[in-house]
Chain A
Amino acid sequence: MPEKSELLQGTLDLLILQALQSGPIHGFGLSLRLREMSRDVFQVEMGSMYPAVCRMEARGWIRGEWSVSEANRKARYYSLTPLGRRQLAVERAKWERLSSTINLMLQAAS
């Protein structure tokens, strides 16, 4: 099993937004999708994911609604709001700027 890494501070929101882009999903599904997206490298703590979901719902980026799953089970499905889509773009740009800066710095140092 690959070693689990801590998520970089502030990137969880970006990852959740990204994970929700492909459609509404419930909490368990979201945790699976986050793991898949990182190819099992990152372990997202539920103690971080749920508060983050809650925070983003408060900000109006995502919306949670009770609905019935394919296995006929009641679950809370989260989806991106238009505001969330815009936020995804913003976060993404921010991330790209940050990572390219760090890359530049690493190359300059070597």
Chain B
Amino acid sequence: MNVLRTLWFRLQPFLRRRKIEAELNEEIRTHLEMAEEAHAAAGLSREEARREFGGVDQVKEAYRDERGVPWIESILQDVRTAVRSLRRIPGFVALTLVTLALGVSLNTTAFSFLDALLLEPLPFPGLNRLVQIYRTAPGQLFGPNSPGDLFELKEQKGMFSGLAIVDFPTYSLAVPGQPAERVSAFAVSGDFFRILGVPPLLGRVFGPEEDAVGHDAVIVLSYEYWRRRFALDPGVIGRTLRMNGTPVTVIGVMPRPFRFTRLFGSRDIWKPLAMGSKLATKRDGRWLSAIAQLKAGESLAEAQAKMTAIAARMAKDNPKSDANSGFYVGPLGKEPGGGSIMIWMIMGLAFSVLLIACANLANLQLARNSGRSREFGIRLSLGSTRPRLVRQMLTESLILSLAGAVLGVACAWGVNRYLEARFAIVGEDSSLMLPISGRVLAFALLAALGTGALFGTLPAWIASNVSPNAAIRISGAGITSSRSRHRLRSVLVVSELALTLSLIAGAGFFFQGIMRYKPGAVGWRSDHVVTARVALPSSPYNSADKCLAFYDRLYAELAATPGVEAPIICDLFPTGGFYYSHPMITEGKEAPPSGKEPVCDMNTVTPGFFHALGIRLLRGRDFADSDRPGAPMVAIVNETMAKKLWPNQDPIGRRICAVDSELREWLEVVGVVSEIGFQAEVNTGRAMQYYRPIRQVGGNYFSIAARTTLAPEAIKNLLPKAVFRVDPDQAIYELTTADQAFEDYNRANHTFASGLAVLGVSGLLLSALGLYGVISNLVVERTPEIGIRIAMGASFTQVVWAVMRQGARLAAVGIPIGLFGAWGLVRILASSFPGSAKTNPLMLASSTALVLAVTFLACWLPARRAARMEPMTALRAE
């Protein structure tokens, strides 16, 4: 109680400083007046009264000491002094803040990725028992699962205490009487909500009983969708909406932070995943995710062992689809494989930029402090202590770093919003969220304060090492122990150069890797093409005939649309690559052992597809309108496939069959076309591709496209109209130009690559700035000497070399160290990301050349300035 009262009393000055100061003044004034009157009455002078009272300021000071909390007082005083002295040097402050903001914002953004993708735990109560099941196969680590495999797992009791299958479909959802809109959904099997253990905010969630076809007409809304579409109206529970034309009932709303995966952060609705018997046995085609709950007391390793055994059994039972495939069981929400290494590496690269920034700031601080040695000398001789001076300088650094933190976080916030938009998944609004969470904020603050402490401490200690005598007698720079200052500077610049080289090599490694996966049209023309997706709901389009009729009418509508040169309907427009690939056998040849059949990519297309996209027809004929059900089943193969299956033979008239197709249909080859590719820098001449007439295959999901003679944007809105004329209930989605689609696919990669480039360039720029600053400063310090040299007849080259030698010495140490670090880094990276090692020596060489060039420039500019000095000005500079 007593202590509290004393504390409260003592804290008053901070809360109402002015009032207390005024009261003290008032009290002393009253005292003096009374004393003066008393003295006057006694016949003494007023001065005598004041003399007797003593020094007013000393009394006030003593009173304040008693009143306040001394250490807070003295910190506040330090802060006031620091702000005052910083205000006098706006240039220094601006440079420091820009450097800090750059370093802090890069790191904050990098950390937001780390936080969002690796650190932020998913909000489920029993998270430590939740796992994700991946299918592994040669060339596909951590891939999705086939419905057949998962259905078998789900039915197998005793493996897990719960298993849920997850799909990511999209639907057209309409409030009756209003236009439909596309919603993104999680289609999940019955155990999903039970094993995640999150209760709904409103209503109920669905369970295993809704897994059955016919009972699945229910949906659960996400909080976001509920807010956006229904304005948080609780009356939505029990309402009937129309999804893909059939009625569904809203049974519940999930709470806001219910995120199931990190990347598909916000989807609109949940729907039961009802698998009919045909789907439940389908094993060719893997696209489903699966999560499971480990049995109580079972470890991840035990589950993995059991799953490995099951994978072996499945491979034996279903050799065509499951051979060579395994299962990988990983903790839910933990990115498996190289993804997390990559994110940590990026964090490391960003951190090295911060270190470089730190070195720069320390250099800046050193330069500034060297001009203050006179001030420090005077303060020391007036009784200040060395720790006191260091504290003063540290206060300055910390104020700067706090301001830098604020700026940096503000920048990072903007950058994160931009990145969220850039990383949006093509055609959907769900995306990676990069919020500035508490953790991210704490990181930014820590990074900034750490930087402040680091760039403040050492220079402060060196600067405060002044002899007061010397400081007062000698004027100007060069009083502080200049040797330790120069040594620290050299160390700083050397480490900057070394770090920069490693940084650029590391960033270059990823940059190269990303650029190799650049999607683009190879062997076909993507210009002047508009494309979109259509999904025909299974009612009324429940038969091949109905779909076929739709194709025919749509094809005619598209062809009649003004500006359309060539219409296309195909399974998947080539911007998306191929959906399906099948192991194939050829007629009249002995079939290879099961599992060893050549795997060929397949697309289904309309006649005119090849001509419209500039794919060359090398032999035989294109598909015709007559290639329909009932007519002979035909196929067109690409050159590579023809050469591999029938070397030196005419492929026309031969027959092929997909071994995993249900019907074992034999297809007659009627034509050969050139190969097409989807990645700019991937070797072609390897992929086996074949095409079938879409009318002989059917399907409710397909792409439409049109090549136009006009600007593609001009006919973009004509595609929906054509579909509308065929069936007004059907909407199209992912409407885009082919070039734009590639650009969208590239966008995330480009953003990522540009992010890396920004990291590299920032590091390079900062260390160039650092080196430039140090060499310039040396030139300034050596101005009289250089003046004498020039006066004595030194040539331009001699002076330039005299200056550049200093930079060269630093580079001669820093660059080999950096090269060594870069070499080690790239080796580690290459072992984590196999298949990327080929061009590494070239990259190391070019990184080194880049750093050398920048080093040269940073030394050349001050050297040239020195060599052009007027000797007289130089001599007078002292």
- Residues of A whose CB lies within 8 Å of any CB of B are 26-29, 31-32, 45-48, 50-52, 54-55, 57-60, 69, 71, 73-76
Once the chains are docked, how many angstroms separate the CA of A69 from the CA of B34? Answer: 10
B-chain residues with CB within 8 Å of residue A58 when the two chains form the complex:
5-6, 9-10, 66-67
Q: A52-B66, A71-B37, A74-B26 are in contact. List 9 more A-B contacts (CB 8 A).
A: A27-B28, A28-B30, A47-B58, A47-B62, A54-B63, A59-B5, A60-B2, A75-B27, A75-B34
Residue of A nearest to B24 (CB): A50
Q: Does B424 contact A (CB under 8 A)?
A: no
Once the chains are docked, how many angstroms separate the CA of A11 from the CA of B62? Answer: 18
Once the chains are docked, how many angstroms separate the CA of A51 from the CA of B63? Answer: 5
Decide: A54 near B31, CB < 8 A? Known: A47-B58, A47-B59, A60-B2. no
Q: Does B230 contact A (CB under 8 A)?
A: no
Interface centre among A47, A59, A76 (most CB of B within 10 A): A47
Once the chains are docked, how many angstroms separate the CA of A46 from the CA of B817? Answer: 67
Q: Is the CB of A76 within 8 A of B2?
A: no
Q: Is the CB of B6 within 8 A of A73?
A: no
- Residues of B whose CB lies within 8 Å of any CB of A are 2, 5-6, 9-10, 23, 26-28, 30-31, 33-35, 37-38, 53-55, 58-59, 62-63, 65-67
Residue of A nearest to B58 (CB): A47
Q: Is the CB of B30 within 8 A of A26?
A: yes
A-chain residues with CB within 8 Å of residue B5 when the two chains form the complex:
58-60
Q: Is the CB of B33 within 8 A of A73?
A: yes
B-chain residues with CB within 8 Å of residue A51 when the two chains form the complex:
62-63, 65-66
Once the chains are docked, how many angstroms separate the CA of A54 from the CA of B58? Answer: 15
Once the chains are docked, how many angstroms separate the CA of A74 from the CA of B27? Answer: 9
Report the minimum CB–CB distance from B54 to chain A (whole Å).
5
Q: Is the CB of A54 within 8 A of B59?
A: no
Once the chains are docked, how many angstroms separate the CA of A63 from the CA of B716? Answer: 84
Once the chains are docked, how many angstroms separate the CA of A15 from the CA of B67? Answer: 21
B-chain residues with CB within 8 Å of residue A28 when the two chains form the complex:
30-31, 34-35, 38
B-chain residues with CB within 8 Å of residue A52 when the two chains form the complex:
66
28 A-B contact pairs sorted by A residue (CB < 8 Å): A26-B30, A26-B31, A27-B27, A27-B28, A28-B35, A29-B34, A46-B53, A47-B55, A47-B62, A50-B27, A51-B65, A52-B66, A54-B67, A58-B5, A58-B9, A58-B66, A59-B2, A59-B6, A60-B5, A69-B34, A73-B33, A73-B34, A74-B26, A75-B27, A75-B30, A76-B23, A76-B27, A76-B30
Once the chains are docked, how many angstroms separate the CA of A59 from the CA of B66? Answer: 12
Once the chains are docked, how many angstroms separate the CA of A54 from the CA of B26? Answer: 15
Decide: A74 near B59, CB < 8 A? Known: A46-B54, A60-B2. no
A-B Cβ contacts below 8 A, count:
66
Main secondary structure of the interface of B (DSSP, over half): helix
Report the minimum CB–CB distance from A2 to chain B (whole Å).
15
Once the chains are docked, how many angstroms separate the CA of A48 from the CA of B59? Answer: 8
Report the minimum CB–CB distance from A61 to chain B (whole Å).
10
Once the chains are docked, how many angstroms separate the CA of A59 from the CA of B55? Answer: 26
Report the minimum CB–CB distance from B353 to chain A (whole Å).
51
Report the minimum CB–CB distance from A37 to chain B (whole Å).
17
Report the minimum CB–CB distance from B39 to chain A (whole Å).
11
Give 10 closest A-B pairs by Cβ, nearest first: A28-B34, A51-B66, A58-B9, A54-B66, A28-B31, A51-B62, A27-B31, A47-B62, A75-B30, A50-B63
A-chain residues with CB within 8 Å of residue B31 when the two chains form the complex:
26-28, 31, 46
Q: Is the CB of A74 within 8 A of B30?
A: yes
Report the minimum CB–CB distance from B67 to chain A (whole Å).
6
Q: Is the CB of B62 within 8 A of A57?
A: no
Decide: A47 near B54, CB < 8 A? Known: A27-B31, A28-B31, A55-B66. yes
B-chain residues with CB within 8 Å of residue A45 when the two chains form the complex:
54
A-chain residues with CB within 8 Å of residue B28 when the two chains form the complex:
27, 50
Once the chains are docked, how many angstroms separate the CA of A51 from the CA of B34? Answer: 20
B-chain residues with CB within 8 Å of residue A57 when the two chains form the complex:
9
Q: Which of A26, A29, A50 contacts B59 (CB 8 A)?
A: A50
Once the chains are docked, how many angstroms separate the CA of A92 from the CA of B58? Answer: 30
A-chain residues with CB within 8 Å of residue B9 when the two chains form the complex:
57-58
Report the minimum CB–CB distance from B444 to chain A (whole Å).
40
Report the minimum CB–CB distance from B442 to chain A (whole Å).
36
Q: Is the CB of B59 within 8 A of A27?
A: no
B-chain residues with CB within 8 Å of residue A46 when the two chains form the complex:
31, 53-54, 59
A-chain residues with CB within 8 Å of residue B34 when the two chains form the complex:
26, 28-29, 69, 73, 75
A-chain residues with CB within 8 Å of residue B59 when the two chains form the complex:
46-47, 50
Once the chains are docked, how many angstroms separate the CA of A31 from the CA of B55? Answer: 15
Residue of B nearest to A73 (CB): B30
Report the minimum CB–CB distance from A6 to chain B (whole Å).
14
B-chain residues with CB within 8 Å of residue A31 when the two chains form the complex:
31
Once the chains are docked, how many angstroms separate the CA of A71 from the CA of B255? Answer: 73
B-chain residues with CB within 8 Å of residue A71 when the two chains form the complex:
37
Report the minimum CB–CB distance from B706 to chain A (whole Å).
86
Once the chains are docked, how many angstroms separate the CA of A51 from the CA of B37? Answer: 24
Once the chains are docked, how many angstroms separate the CA of A73 from the CA of B30? Answer: 8
A-chain residues with CB within 8 Å of residue B37 when the two chains form the complex:
71
Report the minimum CB–CB distance from B312 to chain A (whole Å).
80
A-chain residues with CB within 8 Å of residue B27 when the two chains form the complex:
27, 50, 75-76
Report the minimum CB–CB distance from A20 to chain B (whole Å).
16
Interface centre among A27, A31, A46, A51 (most CB of B within 10 A): A46
A-chain residues with CB within 8 Å of residue B63 when the two chains form the complex:
50-51, 54
Report the minimum CB–CB distance from B607 to chain A (whole Å).
97
Residue of A nearest to B7 (CB): A58
Interface centre among B27, B28, B37 (most CB of A within 10 A): B27
B-chain residues with CB within 8 Å of residue A55 when the two chains form the complex:
66
Residue of B nearest to A49 (CB): B59
B-chain residues with CB within 8 Å of residue A29 when the two chains form the complex:
34
Once the chains are docked, how many angstroms separate the CA of A51 from the CA of B10? Answer: 12
A-chain residues with CB within 8 Å of residue B58 when the two chains form the complex:
47
Once the chains are docked, how many angstroms separate the CA of A69 from the CA of B55? Answer: 25
B-chain residues with CB within 8 Å of residue A59 when the two chains form the complex:
2, 5-6
Once the chains are docked, how many angstroms separate the CA of A92 from the CA of B279? Answer: 97
Once the chains are docked, how many angstroms separate the CA of A31 from the CA of B38? Answer: 12
Once the chains are docked, how many angstroms separate the CA of A54 from the CA of B9? Answer: 10
Once the chains are docked, how many angstroms separate the CA of A50 from the CA of B61? Answer: 10
Once the chains are docked, how many angstroms separate the CA of A46 from the CA of B49? Answer: 12
A-chain residues with CB within 8 Å of residue B54 when the two chains form the complex:
45-47
B-chain residues with CB within 8 Å of residue A27 when the two chains form the complex:
27-28, 30-31
B-chain residues with CB within 8 Å of residue A26 when the two chains form the complex:
30-31, 34
Once the chains are docked, how many angstroms separate the CA of A31 from the CA of B65? Answer: 20
A-chain residues with CB within 8 Å of residue B55 when the two chains form the complex:
47
Report the minimum CB–CB distance from B35 to chain A (whole Å).
6
A-chain residues with CB within 8 Å of residue B65 when the two chains form the complex:
51
B-chain residues with CB within 8 Å of residue A74 when the two chains form the complex:
26, 30
Report the minimum CB–CB distance from B443 to chain A (whole Å).
41
Once the chains are docked, how many angstroms separate the CA of A3 from the CA of B6? Answer: 37
Residue of B nearest to A54 (CB): B66
Report the minimum CB–CB distance from A43 to chain B (whole Å).
9
Residue of A nearest to B61 (CB): A47
Once the chains are docked, how many angstroms separate the CA of A29 from the CA of B62? Answer: 20
Report the minimum CB–CB distance from A1 to chain B (whole Å).
12
B-chain residues with CB within 8 Å of residue A47 when the two chains form the complex:
54-55, 58-59, 62
Once the chains are docked, how many angstroms separate the CA of A41 from the CA of B10? Answer: 33
Once the chains are docked, how many angstroms separate the CA of A50 from the CA of B67? Answer: 10
Once the chains are docked, how many angstroms separate the CA of A69 from the CA of B30? Answer: 10
Residue of B nearest to A57 (CB): B9
A-chain residues with CB within 8 Å of residue B38 when the two chains form the complex:
28, 32
Once the chains are docked, how many angstroms separate the CA of A76 from the CA of B29? Answer: 11
A-chain residues with CB within 8 Å of residue B23 when the two chains form the complex:
76
Once the chains are docked, how many angstroms separate the CA of A57 from the CA of B2? Answer: 12
